[in-house]
Structure 1
C-alpha cells in the first residue's frame, strides 16, 4: 500500500512539472546546461524566434543571442544565425573549444566552464537566480524566487538595440570588428549626458572634431529608445516624455515584426525590420541608416589614407607618396614610402622629390601655416619647405601647409580644393604607373684646332657671364617681390610665413587684440599667465605668455626664453613663434597645444591612459630632453621638468614647454652654479646641498615624472590608505624589491617586462648621487630596449 502511495506522489510531481513546462516554454530551470558537443546547444524563446547559447566564432564558439531561421529548428550552425547575432557575452574573450559547457547552476549562477578547472561568470548578480528565460523580444533574463528581474542582457548592449530596449544616458553601442568577428570594433554610438546622440571613432575624446554624426539634441539625462513599432526616440527618463524623434517607425504595432538597430562594423548606424511567419522564416528590410555618405565615417580609413566609393561601397586608398601598412587590413592606414634625407642635402633637391596634385581633397587637421597664394606658389612653397608634407589650396585661395600624418582625409567630388602632395622620386615613378624616362646621351665635343679652342672658350665665358647677369637681375626682382609679399602678411597679422623665416616681432596692441584683451586664461606659470589667442580670423590659434614679474626679473626670463627656444626645433619641444618687447611689457607667442598638460591626462582625466600610450609619452619626453642636453649647439638644462610643463598637441604628442628656468651652458661647460629653481618634489638633491648642478638635474626630475606616468599618481599624496604610500619613490622601491610590481598599476593589464623596464629606469634616474644617474642618451636607449638595465640600488629618498 505504501509503495502504491509513493508511486502516486511521484506521478503527481511529474505531471505538475510537465504542466509547468508546457505553460512556460521559455522557462529554464536550475541545473540546465548547454554544450557545443551535444545536440542541446541553445535555449529558444517561446516562439522560437530567438536563441541563447553557443554559436560558431572563428575556430571555436562564443555565447550569445541570435535570431533563428527555419533551418535552425534542426541545427543552430547556419550563416543566417551568424549574420543576425544581437548580443555576445564577454565579446572580447577568445572563443572556447567544443568541450566547453554553459550551465545555470543549482546555486543560481550562470557559468561558462571552459574546462574542469576554469569557469567564468556570464552574468554578475548580487543574489542567486531561481530560474531564467529567453523571451521573444530577444532579452535573456535571470529571475529571483519572487519572479523579479535580477539581470538581463538588455541592460548590457553590445552593438545592437532590439525593439523595446533602451540605451541610457552615458552608455554607448560599440561596433563589432566584422559580421564574423563580434569582438569590439572601431566605432561607437554614445548617448551623451548633454542629450546629444553622437557617432565617434572608438578611441577619441567627445569633441566635435572627431564626431561624424550627431542628433543635435539637448536635454539632461535623455535615453535612446527603440519601441515595438520601430520608432527611434530620445526620451526624458524622469517623465518618459519624447524630446526628439530620429525615425517615426510604423503607425501600428505588429507582433510578427521585430525591429533591430545595429552599429555596423563600417561605422554606419542601421535600423532593420524582421518579418516572421509561423514557420519562423523571416524577411529582413533596411528601414533607416545614417550617415548617408558612407565615406563621411571618420577613421573608416587610417592615417594618410582616404575613403572613396566603388560600386556604392566605401574603399580605402593611400595618399600619394604613401603605401598601405598592411595590404590585408587597409583600414590600418598608410605610411610614407620615401625618407626626408633630401632636406639635409640641397644638392639633391631636383632628383629626390616632386609634387603630385589631387583635386577635390580635404581634411579636418589644423594646418601649421596658411596664407593667400596662387596655385603655383602654393605648390612651390610646400616643395621647398622641409616641414611641409602636403599643402591644400582651398576655394578662397588660402594655402594651408600640413605635416603627416593626416587623420581624417577625404575626397569630395563637390569640393573645389586642390591638394599638393610631396612625394619622393620612387613615389613619382610609382605614380607614373611604370612609365620610363629615356636617357639622353651627352654630346661628345671634339676640339681639332687652336682657333676652335679659343672660340669655344670665348663662347663659354660669354654664356657664363650672361647667365650670371640674368640670375642677378632675376634674384633682385624675386627678393623685392618676396619682400613686398612679406610686408603684406605682416600688415594683415598672419604669423605663418614668419614661422618659416624667423621669430615674429609683435606689437603689444596686436597681441591684446588677438587675445581679446587677455580674456581666456589657459594656465599660470612661475613668471606669468598664459592666454589663448588667434590670428587670421580665428584660423590660427596660439598661446600667449605674459610675463608679470618685476622688470629686471622679467627681462631675464624673457631673454632666457628667446635665447633657448628661438634656436631649438624638435617635435617634442613646444615651438616659439614670436615675441613682444615694448617698454616694460614682455610677451611670448607659442604654438597652441589643444589637449592640455600631462598632469591633466594623468591626474585629472576620467580615463586612465592605456599602457602603450604611457610608454610612448615617456619615450617622447626622454627624446625631447635628450635634444636639449646633447643635440643643441650648447647643452641646455631645463631645470623644471614636471607633468605641468609637458603639453599634449592635437595628436597627443608630448612636448616640453616653459624654458624660462633653462640654464644655457657654454660648449666647454658641464656644470654651473645657480639659485634654487624648480618645483618641490621634482628637484634633485644637489639643489638643496648648494653644489653645482648639471645635466643630471633634469635626469632626476625625469625619473620622478616617469614613475608618475607608470603609476598614474602624484609623487606625493597624503590621501592614501597606508603611510608607506605617501612618497611615490619609497612606495615604488618597496614593491620593486618585493617583486610585487602589479600592485603599482592597481590590477591594470600591462606587459610585465615593459613595466619592470620603466620602473628600473625611473629608479636609476632618481639616485641621490648624480654620478649614478644615467645620461638622457642612456635613458632613451634603455627605454627602446637597446641597452640592458642592471638592478638599481635603493635611492636615498626611498630609504627615508
Structure 2
C-alpha cells in the first residue's frame, strides 16, 4: 500500500504550482530546460512581438541581447557580456540550477545571468525587460537592472550606476564614453572612459552636484527623462514629453549613450502602414565638439555647416592616419624634444591659436598677469615645453607637454605651439593686421628669403653628410669591436648533441621563463667558457617566434650592456639559444635578495640604472632597425662578474623597419611594468613603452621595493604614486630603503627622472638618450607632472 503524501510536502507542491501559474500570467515563455539554438534572429519574443531576447548577428558571429524589432534593422537595447568574442554555435538554456547559459559556444559555456536565487522561468516583456523569476514568482534578475548603453521607458539608472557607450553602430563592445550617476553628490555626468570622476574630465552634467542626496535617472512612457530623489519630493526634467501621433499603432522611447559620446533620446513609432519611424527628440551635449575625445590627441574639433564635428591638426602637426581624421595628430618636427644644451634654439618658433579650448594639464604655471610674449618666451626656453596655454581672462600661463587633448574651437584661451620652423600666423579668430609692405620691400624680402633658404638647404645638407659620416665611423668602430669579440666566440650553429653534452644533459637549471628553461653549461672548444643555454619548451610556434626574435634582435651585438648571444641550435623540433653566462644573477637578486638584510650601495645602484639606460639607448637609437624590448624588468636584467648590468631575454621584442618609429601589436610584457598604451589597445606602440618600464625599474632601484609590492599589500596607491607624493613633499630620500647618507638633490634628481619616464602619454616621456643625460646631471628638467596611474 502506498504511503500517503506528507501534509508539509503537499503544501510545498501546491505553493510551487501556484507560483508557476502566477509566473505564467506574467508573460512567461521560458521554463527550465527549454533551449534556443544559436542563429541570427532566433529569439524569445514579447507578447506583442515588438521586443525579443535572443541571438542577433554581429561582425564575426552572434551576440545575445534584447532588441526592438524595428525595420529594416533591429534596434539593440541590451547586450550580454558585450566584450566577449563572438561565437556562432551553441544554444541559450535556462538550466535546472537556475542560471541562464549560452552553452557550447566555441566549446565552452558562457553565463548570461546567474541570479542570487535559482530561476525557474523567464519572460520577454512588452516593456523591453527580459526577466528571470524564482519559484515564488519574484523577479530575481532582469536586463533593466543591468543596463549597458540604453534606458527604456520604466527603466532606472540608480545612484552609482553607469551607462557605457558602444564602440560603433556595428560593435556593441564597451566604447569610449560613460554616463555616471554619481552616488556621492547626485550629479549626472558624462566622462571619457578611463578618466576619474573629476570636473576636469567631465564634458556634460546636470548641475545637481549640490543637491545633498542621491538621485535616480528615469525615463517615463511619454519620453520625459528626469531625475528624482528624496522620496519623490525632488524632480528635475531633462527633456519634455513627446507629442502623441495619431498615425502610430504603437511607440517606444529609449535614451542611449551613443558611440560618439552624445546622449540621445529616441522615439520609435510603428505607423499604421506597418513601417517604423525613428526620431531624435533630444541630445546632450548639443555641441558635439564639447565631447572630450571627439578628436584624438593633438587635434582640435570644429563644427561644420551641418553641426558635424571635424578634426584638425594645429601648426606643426600632421594626421597620424590620413584616412582617420579623428585618430589624432602627431608632431611633424622634433620641437619640444630635449637635447643637450637646448635653451633657446633659434630654429624654434611659436605658432598662435586664439579663441580655443584645450585640457589644461600643466607641469609649470606662470602667475596671473603674464603677457603673451612672456608666456611664449617661457615655453620656448624650456626644452620640455611643447606648448603654452594662456588664459585670456586673467593672464595665467601654463606649460604643457604632448599630447594635447580635448581641443576645440571656441573658448577663452590662446595656445602657443612650439614648432620647428618660422612663426606661423595666428589661427582661430585672431586680430587682423592691416600692415602692407611696398612692392619694393616685398621683393627685397622675398629675395632675402630665397637666399636664406638656399643657404639653409646647403647647411642642412652639409650637416646631414657630417652626421652620416660620423654614424658610419661609429658603426665601423662598433663592428670592429664586435668582430674582435667574435674571434673569441663567433655566432655559430651548434648541434643538439653538443649542447646536451655542454649542459650535462640539461642538469643544472638556472631559471624558468615564459618560453622555456635556462640551464648552465660549459663550452670546451679551445678552453672552457661558462654559458647559459635556453631550451625553448612552449608551443612550437611560440618557441620559433622567440628564437627568431632573439637572433634578429641581438644576434651579433657586442654592446657591453646587452647579454651576448653566442650561438644557437635550430634542429628539427629543437630550439636552443646559447648566451654568455652572467655569474651574479639578475637585478632582482641584486635589489631584493641582498645578504644580511642590507641593500646595495647607492652608487652601485645608480651605476646599474645607467647601464640599463645605455643598453636601451643602443636598442632604440643606435641600430639600423630599432628594437622595442617589450619586457624590461629586473628579472630580465642580468649582472656580470664586474657588476655591469646587461639587458637579456628578447623573446617578446619587436623589431621596427628602418623607416618605422612605431608599430601595432598585441599586449606584451609583465604586469606592473606595462605602459598604459598597452592596456588601451588602440594606437601605435613605440620605444617609449620601454621608457615607461625603465621608469618603474628605476623606482625599484631607488626604493629596493618591487613595483607590485604595495598593491599586493592591499594599498590603493602604486609605487610611482607613493614616490611622487614624497617628491612633492620634498622628501625624496624617504623613498630609499636604507639608512645610507646620500645627497637629497641627487636622490630627488633620480626620482624626477623616473617620474618623467612613467608619464601617461608616450610623447611626454623622454628618450633614453635624455634619460642618461638627466641621470648624469647634464640636462636640467622641470618638476614632473603626476605619474600615469594618478590620472
After TM superposition, the score normalised by the length of structure 1 is: 0.51
**What aligned pairs does 1:92-241 form with structure 2 within 5 A after superposition?**
92-97=83-88, 99-115=89-105, 117-193=107-183, 194-217=185-208, 218-236=211-229, 239-241=231-233
Structure 1 distance, partners of 2:24, 2:737, is 77
Q: 2:238 aligns with which of 243, 246, 257?
A: 246
Q: 2:311 aligns with which of 316, 320, 323?
A: 316
**What aligned pairs does 1:706-745 form with structure 2 within 5 A after superposition?**
none
1:386 and 2:386 matched: no
Q: 1:86 aligns with which of 77, 82, 87?
A: 77
What root-mean-square deviation, in Å, do the aligned CA atoms of Structure 1 and Structure 2 show?
4.8
> What is the SS of the residue equivalent to 1:382?
helix
Give the aligned partner of residue 358 of structure 1: 353
Structure 2 distance, partners of 1:628, 1:338, is 34
In 2 relative to 1, CA 145–255 (structure 1 residues): closer, same or farther, beyond 3 Å? farther
Structure 1 distance, partners of 2:337, 2:720, is 29
Structure 1 distance, partners of 2:157, 2:670, is 30
> What is the SS of the residue equivalent to 2:401?
coil
1:411 and 2:408 matched: yes
Shift of 1:228: 1.2
Shift of 1:418: 3.1
CA contact (8 A) 1:621 1:654 kept: no
In 2 relative to 1, CA 270–653 (structure 1 residues): closer, same or farther, beyond 3 Å? farther
Structure 2 distance, partners of 1:330, 1:22, is 54
Structure 2 distance, partners of 1:402, 1:145, is 64
CA contact (8 A) 1:640 1:698 kept: no
Shift of 1:423: 1.2
Structure 1 distance, partners of 2:291, 2:337, is 35
Give the aligned partner of residue 64 of structure 1: 65
Structure 1 distance, partners of 2:343, 2:243, is 74
Give the aligned partner of residue 421 of structure 1: 417
Give the aligned partner of residue 563 of structure 1: none
CA contact (8 A) 1:111 1:122 kept: yes
In 2 relative to 1, CA 275–241 (structure 1 residues): closer, same or farther, beyond 3 Å? farther
**What aligned pairs does 1:416-495 form with structure 2 within 5 A after superposition?**
417-425=413-421, 438-439=450-451
In 2 relative to 1, CA 102–380 (structure 1 residues): closer, same or farther, beyond 3 Å? same
Residue deviations 1:183-219 (CA, integer Å, cap 9, x gap): 1111111111121111111211111111111112224
CA contact (8 A) 2:23 2:133 kept: no
CA contact (8 A) 1:638 1:698 kept: no
Shift of 1:143: 1.5
> What is the SS of the residue equivalent to 1:229?
coil
1:272 and 2:266 matched: yes
Give the aligned partner of residue 287 of structure 1: 281
Instruction: Please identify, of 611-620 and 25-34, the stretch whose mean Cα deviation from structure 2 is larger.
Output: 611-620
**What aligned pairs does 1:642-661 form with structure 2 within 5 A after superposition?**
648=721, 656-657=727-728, 660=731
> What is the SS of the residue equivalent to 1:386?
coil
> What is the SS of the residue equivalent to 1:198?
strand
Instruction: Please identify, of 381-390 and 51-60, the stretch whose mean Cα deviation from structure 2 is larger.
Output: 381-390
Shift of 1:171: 0.5
**What aligned pairs does 1:367-386 form with structure 2 within 5 A after superposition?**
367=362, 368-371=364-367, 372-386=369-383
In 2 relative to 1, CA 46–341 (structure 1 residues): closer, same or farther, beyond 3 Å? closer
Shift of 1:26: 6.0
CA contact (8 A) 2:39 2:56 kept: no
CA contact (8 A) 1:647 1:657 kept: no
Structure 2 distance, partners of 1:621, 1:395, is 39
Residue deviations 1:667-714 (CA, integer Å, cap 9, x gap): xxxxxxxxxxx58xx744xx5xxx99999x999x99xx99xx9xxxxx
> What is the SS of the residue equivalent to 1:360?
strand
Shift of 1:628: 13
In 2 relative to 1, CA 326–210 (structure 1 residues): closer, same or farther, beyond 3 Å? same
Instruction: Please identify, of 207-216 and 248-257, the stretch whose mean Cα deviation from structure 2 is larger.
Output: 248-257
> What is the SS of the residue equivalent to 2:289?
helix
Unaligned ranges ≥5, structure 1: 1-18, 72-77, 444-609, 630-636, 663-677, 710-775, 781-800
Shift of 1:178: 1.0
In 2 relative to 1, CA 125–343 (structure 1 residues): closer, same or farther, beyond 3 Å? same
1:54 and 2:55 matched: yes
Residue deviations 1:469-508 (CA, integer Å, cap 9, x gap): xxxxxxxxxxxxxxxxxxxxxxxxxxxxxxxxxxxxxxxx
CA contact (8 A) 1:48 1:280 kept: no
Shift of 1:225: 1.0
CA contact (8 A) 1:321 1:427 kept: no
CA contact (8 A) 2:300 2:409 kept: no
Structure 2 distance, partners of 1:259, 1:165, is 11
Give the aligned partner of residue 32 of structure 1: 34
> What is the SS of the residue equivalent to 1:298?
coil
Structure 2 distance, partners of 1:275, 1:419, is 47
Structure 2 distance, partners of 1:47, 1:354, is 67
Shift of 1:227: 1.2
CA contact (8 A) 2:673 2:693 kept: no
Residue deviations 1:766-788 (CA, integer Å, cap 9, x gap): xxxxxxxxxx99xx9xxxxxxxx
In 2 relative to 1, CA 300–109 (structure 1 residues): closer, same or farther, beyond 3 Å? same
In 2 relative to 1, CA 284–427 (structure 1 residues): closer, same or farther, beyond 3 Å? farther
Unaligned ranges ≥5, structure 2: 1-20, 428-445, 456-668, 677-689, 711-716, 759-770, 776-791
Give the aligned partner of residue 527 of structure 1: none
CA contact (8 A) 1:26 1:44 kept: no
Structure 2 distance, partners of 1:30, 1:293, is 49
CA contact (8 A) 1:21 1:27 kept: no
CA contact (8 A) 1:68 1:280 kept: no
Structure 2 distance, partners of 1:154, 1:250, is 22
Structure 2 distance, partners of 1:186, 1:653, is 29
Shift of 1:412: 3.2
Structure 2 distance, partners of 1:263, 1:91, is 15
Shift of 1:67: 1.2
Instruction: Please identify, of 176-185 and 416-425, the stretch whose mean Cα deviation from structure 2 is larger.
Output: 416-425
Higher RCO by CA contacts (8 Å cutoff, separation 6 or greater): 2
Shift of 1:138: 0.7
In 2 relative to 1, CA 116–393 (structure 1 residues): closer, same or farther, beyond 3 Å? closer
> What is the SS of the residue equivalent to 1:267?
coil
Residue deviations 1:593-623 (CA, integer Å, cap 9, x gap): xxxxxxxxxxxxxxxxx98676449976964
Structure 2 distance, partners of 1:374, 1:116, is 64
Q: Which has the larger radius of gyration?
A: 1
Shift of 1:130: 2.2
Structure 1 distance, partners of 2:732, 2:212, is 47
In 2 relative to 1, CA 240–279 (structure 1 residues): closer, same or farther, beyond 3 Å? farther
Residue deviations 1:489-540 (CA, integer Å, cap 9, x gap): xxxxxxxxxxxxxxxxxxxxxxxxxxxxxxxxxxxxxxxxxxxxxxxxxxxx
Shift of 1:342: 7.3
In 2 relative to 1, CA 283–638 (structure 1 residues): closer, same or farther, beyond 3 Å? closer
> What is the SS of the residue equivalent to 2:194?
coil
Residue deviations 1:243-294 (CA, integer Å, cap 9, x gap): 3221232488998221101111111111111112467532111111111111
Give the aligned partner of residue 263 of structure 1: 257
